[in-house]
Amino acid sequence: MISSFKSLQEAKKQLGEPTLDFGPNRVFVYQWTAKKGTILWVGYLTIPQHWLSTHQLFIAFDPNGGLLKAGVSEFNNLLPHFESVSEQVHDWLSQNSLSSQIFSPRPGQINSHGSLVFVYRPSSSPCPFPHFDSNHYKPSIKMDGHVVGDVEKGKYLSFEINTGQHEITIALPDYRYLVIDSKFIPANIKIIVEAGIPQYIETYLCDGESGDGKVKMQAGIRDEATALKALENLEPAW
C-alpha cells in the first residue's frame, strides 16, 4: 500500500481524504482500527466492548505534492495519557530526518499565498473552574470540517489558510473513546482571513456551570500583541 502511490493526488485517489491533514497537504495521517480482545472498564474509562488498536499511516509530501516518505505506527486511542497525534507526527518527522523539510509555521513567519492561523492552548486555564483542564483531553482542531491536528496544554498548532471566511472547530477527536465524550461541549469560531495577516485563537477547557459535570471548550480571537506574548512560552504541536 505504501509503495503504490507517488503523489498526494494518488494517495487521495487510493485512500480517500486523510484523518488529519497537517501543513496542509504536507503530512497526511490515515487511521484504522482492529479488535484486540474484550474489556469493560479501565479506571474511569468505558471501553466500547472491544479493545481497539488504532494504526496510523503517515505520509509526507514535498512542496509539489510528491511523495517523500510513508510509514506506519500504532496508536492507543483509548487512554488519554498517550501522545497526541501532533506529537507523534513531530517524532516521526524527526526520526526520518524530515524536520528541516516539513515544519509547522512559527510566529512572525510571512506567508505570501494567504495567511497563517495559530491556535494556542496556555499551560493553565483562566476559567474559574479549571478542574478538567488537563492533558487527559487533546482536542482536535478542524478547519472547515477537516482536522488539521490536535493540541495539548502548553502548545500551539499553526497552519496555512486561504483568504476568506473560515470556521474553526475545537472538539474531542473522533478517534478518542472517553466516558465523558457526551458531556464535552466543543467550541466553534468563525474568522475572516486577509492576505498576510495572521489570525490568533486562544483555547482552553473549563468545567461546566453549576457543577453539571460538563466540560466546555473555550475559544476566542486574540490581538497579535497578546498572542505573541503568550506564544513565547509555548511549544509547537508538531
Report whether pLDDT(1) > 70: no
- When pLDDT is averaged across residues 61-83 and rounded to a whole number, the result is 77
Pick the closest to residue 150 from 195, 199, 217, 99 (CA basis): 217
By the 8 A CB rule, do 91 and 75 touch?
Answer: no
DSSP assignments along 110-171, one per residue? --SSSEEEEEEE-SS--SS--TT-STT---EEEETTEEEEE--TTEEEEEEE-SEEEEEEEE
DSSP 209: G
Q: Where are the domains of the chain?
A: 2-95, 115-236
Cα separation, 205 vs 129, whole angstroms: 9
Burial of 84 (0-12, 13-18, 19+ CB in 10 A): buried
- When pLDDT is averaged across residues 199-209 and rounded to a whole number, the result is 84
- Provide the grid cell at 234: 509555548
Residue 111 — very low, low, confident or very high, per pLDDT cuts 50/70/90?
low
By the 8 A CB rule, do 120 and 104 touch?
Answer: no
Tens of pLDDT along 115-174? 899 999 998 877 766 555 666 778 899 999 889 999 888 999 998 888 899 999 998 776
Report the DSSP pairing between strands 155-161 and 235-236. parallel
- Determine the distance from the C-alpha atom of residue 17 to the mean position of all C-alpha atoms in its chain, rounded to a whole number: 16
Gyration radius of the chain over CA positions: 18
CA distances from 37 to 49, 53, 97 (A): 9, 10, 36
Q: What is the pLDDT of residue 4?
A: 76
Report whether pLDDT(43) > 70: no
Q: Which amino acid is at 190?
A: K
Pick the closest to residue 228 from 118, 128, 153 (CA basis): 118
Q: What is the pLDDT of residue 41?
A: 43
Lowest mean pLDDT among 71-80, 99-108, 111-120: 71-80
Given the candidates 1.10.10, 2.60.120, 2.60.40, 3.30.1300, the CATH classification of the domain at 115-236 is: 2.60.40
- The pTM (predicted TM-score) of the whole model is 0.81
